[in-house]
Amino acid sequence: MSNTHLTRRHMLALMGGTAALALFASARHARAAAPASGPRHGMSIFGELKYAKDFPHFDYVNPDAPKGGTLSQVPFNGAYNASLQTFDTLNGYVLKGNSPPRLDFIFDTLMVRAFDEPDAVYGLVAASAEAKAGGNECIFKLRPEARFHDGSKLTAKDAAFSFMLLKDKGHPLIKLNLREMKNAEALDAQTLRVTFSGEQTRDMPLYVASNLPIFSAAFYATREFDETTLEPPLSSGAYKIGKFKAGDSINYDRVDDYWARDLNVNRGCWNFERLRFEFYRDRTAGFEAFSSGQNVFREEFTSKVWATQYNFPAVKDGRVKLETLPDHTPSGAQGWFINARREKFADPRVREALGLAFDFEWTNKNLFYNLYRRTSSFFENSPMRAEGVPSAEELALLEPFRNKLTPAVFGPAVTAPLSDGSGQDRQMLQRAVKLLEAAGWTIKDGVRCNARGEPLTVEFLDDDPTIQRIEGPYIKNLRLLGIVAKSRLVDSAQYQKRMKTYDFDLLTQRYSLGLTPGIEMRGFWNSEFGKSPGSRNLCGIDNPAIDALIEQAIAAETRESQIVVTRALDRVLRAGHYWIPHWYKASYTIAYWDMFERPVTLALYDRAVERTWWIAQDKAAKLGLKG
């Protein structure tokens, strides 16, 4: 897997748009409308921008929010391994090493997301963008006042250098996504021209504008980019790296003279003087740090902890607040991902059998306090989730691949099995036996073996013991089927290395896509990505029908047509049984010491705590905590 902040940016990148006309359209496909002419202050995929050129600030901020104080937290990101993550490098844009979260906060990009629109981006370093050459070229006009933290000018030369450097030496996810970016060049100090191959997707310009950091060309003139390093890079963002200790903690300090602090896209944002992330050996230690006031904010991802452990004195007397906030973003896919590259898991019948041994209903009742719903879709909690039998429009997309797809694709959408809640549903286990035997795995001396006499083994790779309480009953059921199953707990560094090189049977991960998924879909399911180390295609999916549907979804001309394609894609993915889906809740469960305030209007498509909340110094003083 990639470094944490890189992963998150790719998961959340390019969430679709609400507008009616596209600024950019794919040169490879027919367009619904020609690209808008002339420079514009923002870009969107499907239509007009919500905010006018001279908008004062985003609606989900308080432009008068005071600055100051420290937001300290454990760097959870929702995956089970997140609490145990560590870092050994400050270079988060290459495959080597593990970087801390939120490194993207120290780098400026050409444009930034608006979190109350599904896909719109607005000018930061670039004051405007203009599509030319039928969408195959984009001209960005950079602000002359842009500066790096050492006071040196940030120019189009730096942006061109950065984009080409990432295309050449960046993380494999970035390199693959930039295949269709032909060139980036500085026409003058403030003019950047980015050209595309003609085969690019419609969202490629938005990806370049809002996802790619701008490095200092002078800084890397004397340093190797594609190596791990603990030297803080020269950057230009709202924060810079402060004190840190590898594997222990890292501070991001707000830049008082940040060149873009008064721009409309930043007004009311970045209110904390310091963002501090602390790393602990396990979740228990991290929780104790929060309950004692050492950390002041926490998002909870463990249902048992949320239901049973938030009863310490500070919660009872109101010093710590508990809240459940709505999550309007797609819940995405969390589960045990099966490495189909391995011969023993190549047959989808084996993968389906593994899923039948997991009793979610028992797990939810006995371990989760019935706080969750079962996930079935790769687009859970979104309009892109396939339901029932395919529509006529979906069938039209699927028919060309009928001979290459399982018949299940053309029936009701495959859903996670519903058990009787006993913990050992006999009917589900009997179905699993039949599937295993049909796939050539029979019982020999109590162990399920193939024709060569090799036992069917399953190892769950973990770096957090929390998930093992859930895997325990599941492993017991697998053993009832004659499968030699176990879990293996490794340290975070080994976990990351094995995940990057696909050296696992099953592991737990979570990812989600935006409301307008784009080229990031390739990283999750495209065949070529699955052959590249460090991709999000953990299962090794290699299916030409999936590849083709991904491209059609990326190139869809309207939101409605994209929904049709993604539903068809969802059907094919689900019918492949590439994972044992977990569970989801469409909300954030957060706890925080009562020293914060936030805007009246919250961002729809992001939690945005680091961006938009602030500390009330009087509240912090009353608690006796340093604000």
Find out whether 4 and 100 touch, Cβ atoms under 8 Å: yes
511-540 CB burial, b ≥16 within 10 A, e <16: bbbbbbbbbbbbbbbbbebbeeebbbbbbb
- Bridge partners (DSSP) of residue 338 are 506
Q: Is 374 helix (H, G, I), strand (E, B) or coil?
A: strand
Which pair of tokens denotes residue 180? 């269709």
Report whether pLDDT(58) > 90: yes
Once rounded to an integer, what is the mean pLDDT over residues 29-37?
40
Distances 470 to 211, 378, 498 between C-alpha atoms, Å: 36, 21, 22
Site of tokens 């007009």: 48
Site of tokens 């999936």: 546
97-120 confidence digits (pLDDT tens): 989 999 999 999 999 999 999 889
544-555 vs 559-575: helix crossing angle, rounded to 10: 160
Determine the Cα–Cα distance for residues 136 and 180; give it in Å rounded to an integer. Answer: 10
- Lowest mean pLDDT, pick from 81-85, 93-97, 472-476: 81-85
Q: Which residue type sits at 589?
A: T
Site of tokens 């996810």: 173
More confident residue, 461 or 492: 461
Sorted by where each begins, the domain ranges of the chain are: 4-220, 333-583
Determine the Cα–Cα distance for residues 271 and 66; give it in Å rounded to an integer. Answer: 7
More confident residue, 294 or 303: 294
Q: So what's the pLDDT on residue 34?
A: 36
Q: So what's the pLDDT on residue 327?
A: 83
Distances 235 to 113, 162, 208, 223, 239 between C-alpha atoms, Å: 19, 12, 18, 14, 9
Q: So what's the pLDDT on residue 251?
A: 98
Determine the Cα–Cα distance for residues 147 and 387; give it in Å rounded to an integer. Answer: 50
Which pair of tokens denotes residue 521? 């879909």
Once rounded to an integer, what is the mean pLDDT over residues 165-174?
94
Once rounded to an integer, what is the mean pLDDT over residues 278-287?
87
What CATH architecture does domain 4-220 belong to? 3-Layer(aba) Sandwich (3.40)
Which pair of tokens denotes residue 503? 């050296």
Q: So what's the pLDDT on residue 306?
A: 92
499-508 confidence digits (pLDDT tens): 999 999 999 9
Residues whose CB falls within 8 Å of the CB of residue 313, separated by 6 or more in sequence, listed in order: none
Q: So what's the pLDDT on residue 232?
A: 97
Looking at the chain, the whole-number percentage of residues with pLDDT higher than 70 is 92
Count how many Cα atoms sit within 13 Å of the Cα of residue 271 in the half-sphere of its side chain.
25
Once rounded to an integer, what is the mean pLDDT over residues 456-466?
94
Q: So what's the pLDDT on residue 36?
A: 52
Determine the Cα–Cα distance for residues 203 and 14; give it in Å rounded to an integer. Answer: 7
Report whether pLDDT(537) > 90: yes
Which pair of tokens denotes residue 196? 């595309």
Closest to 356 in 3D by CA, of 246, 443, 444, 483: 483
Instruction: Tell me if domain 4-220 and domain 333-583 are identical in fold.
Output: no
Closest to 233 in 3D by CA, of 86, 105, 90: 90
Report whether pLDDT(403) > 70: yes
Which pair of tokens denotes residue 621? 């003083």
407-433 confidence digits (pLDDT tens): 999 999 999 999 999 999 999 999 999
DSSP secondary structure of 259-313: TTTTSTTTTT----SEEEEE--SSHHHHHHHHHTTSS-EEE---HHHHHHT--SH
Which pair of tokens denotes residue 390? 């395919």
DSSP secondary structure of 64-126: TPPP--EEEE----SSGGGGG---S-S--SSSSS-PPTTGGGGS--SEEE-TTSSS-EEESSE
For residue 549, the surrounding DSSP H or E stretch is helix 544-555
Q: So what's the pLDDT on residue 435?
A: 98
115-147 CB burial, b ≥16 within 10 A, e <16: bbbbbbbbbbbbbbbbbeeebbbbbbbbbeebb
Q: Is 590 helix (H, G, I), strand (E, B) or coil?
A: strand
> In what side-by-side order are the strands of the sheet with 42-43?
42-43, 121-123, 111-113
Once rounded to an integer, what is the mean pLDDT over residues 380-403?
96
Average pLDDT, the chain: 90
Q: Is 606 helix (H, G, I), strand (E, B) or coil?
A: coil
What CATH architecture does domain 333-583 belong to? Roll (3.10)
Find out whether 515 and 605 touch, Cβ atoms under 8 Å: yes
Burial of residue 455 (number of CB atoms within 10 Å: 0-12, 13-18, 19+): middle
Closest to 464 in 3D by CA, of 442, 441, 487: 487
Count how many Cα atoms sit within 13 Å of the Cα of residue 89 in the half-sphere of its side chain.
19
Looking at the chain, how many residues does it have? 627
What is the DSSP-derived secondary structure letter of residue 13? Answer: T
Residues whose CB falls within 8 Å of the CB of residue 192, separated by 6 or more in sequence, listed in order: 110, 126, 139, 140, 142, 156, 159, 160, 184, 185, 186
More confident residue, 540 or 133: 540
| Local confidence band at 173 (pLDDT 50, 70, 90 cut-offs) | confident
